[in-house]
Amino acid sequence: MYTASALSMAQGETSRGAFIQQSLAAAAALTFLPGNANAGWIAGSPEVINPKDAEVDRDILASEVVQKALSNVKNYKSMIEGFASTLASDPQADIGPTIRKEFDFVKIRTDLNTVNSAFEEDTQRGTDRLIRAILQDLTELEVANKQKPGVPRSEIRLNALKGKIAKLCKAFDEYLAFSV
């Protein structure tokens, strides 16, 4: 006579111990056997295409509205470069008031999106990422600039601030490369 567990195993069902062994073997195989890497998308922005491959509507890019916005974007970049010069001459300079006065997020986003309107849809997917990066970098720049009153900026904080400026300049350069 068969027991209930022997009967269920004969019918193709597995015991709890066999199930656990199979599960552990599968987990070990997934862990230790090489497979395709899926984390490559984390480094860089896969949606940002090469500016040379971008599709730009030259008529829209040449329009007065887009050219004014493009001029504003170039001006933002030159102001950021000016921050680097300011900090080179005075490492304790407070650039916060200029950031708050000259870098109105609504205006910057509007200018960037206006220039973006000259790009076709696939190009815009990537340039939208660059726009978000620029806005995030501006926020990080303002935070990195903050100092307690009367406390001098340390070399570490100065280098962090300079790094934020360099990162922001690079983001502007990457974005502006699409409008050349």
Q: What are 109-163's pLDDT values in tens digits?
A: 999 999 999 999 888 988 999 999 999 999 999 999 998 888 999 999 999 999 9
* pLDDT of residue 2 exceeding 50: no
pLDDT in tens, 158-177: 999 999 999 999 999 999 99
Do 110 and 145 lie in one domain? The reply is yes
Whole-model pTM: value is 0.71
Do 125 and 173 lie in one domain? The reply is yes
* pLDDT of residue 90 exceeding 90: yes
Do 9 and 47 lie in one domain? The reply is no
Helix, strand or coil, per DSSP, at residue 26: helix
Under a CB-based contact definition with an 8 Å cutoff, are residues 108 and 138 in contact? yes
Instruction: Determine the average pLDDT of the residues in 89-102.
Output: 92
Under a CB-based contact definition with an 8 Å cutoff, are residues 175 and 72 in contact? no
Do 79 and 158 lie in one domain? The reply is yes
Q: Of all helices (H) and strands (E), which one includes residue 84? A: helix 64-89
Specify the DSSP class assigned to residue 36. Answer: -
The tokens of 109 are what?
A: 């986003």
Do 123 and 51 lie in one domain? The reply is yes
Do 107 and 158 lie in one domain? The reply is yes
Do 27 and 89 lie in one domain? The reply is no
Do 30 and 46 lie in one domain? The reply is no
Do 78 and 118 lie in one domain? The reply is yes
Query: What pLDDT sits at residue 27?
Result: 59
Total length of the chain: 180
Query: What pLDDT sits at residue 32?
Result: 54
Do 65 and 31 lie in one domain? The reply is no
- What whole-number distance in Å separates Cα of residue 30 and Cα of residue 115? 47
pLDDT in tens, 3-49: 554 444 455 566 777 777 777 666 555 555 544 443 332 334 556 67
Do 141 and 122 lie in one domain? The reply is yes
Under a CB-based contact definition with an 8 Å cutoff, are residues 140 and 164 in contact? yes
Domain with 152 in it: what CATH number? Answer: 1.20.120.290
Domain span at 48: 42-179
Query: What pLDDT sits at residue 180?
Result: 78
Q: How many domains does the chain have?
A: 2
Report how far apart, in Å, the C-alpha atoms of 48 and of each of 43, 63, 81 are.
12, 24, 24
Do 141 and 175 lie in one domain? The reply is yes
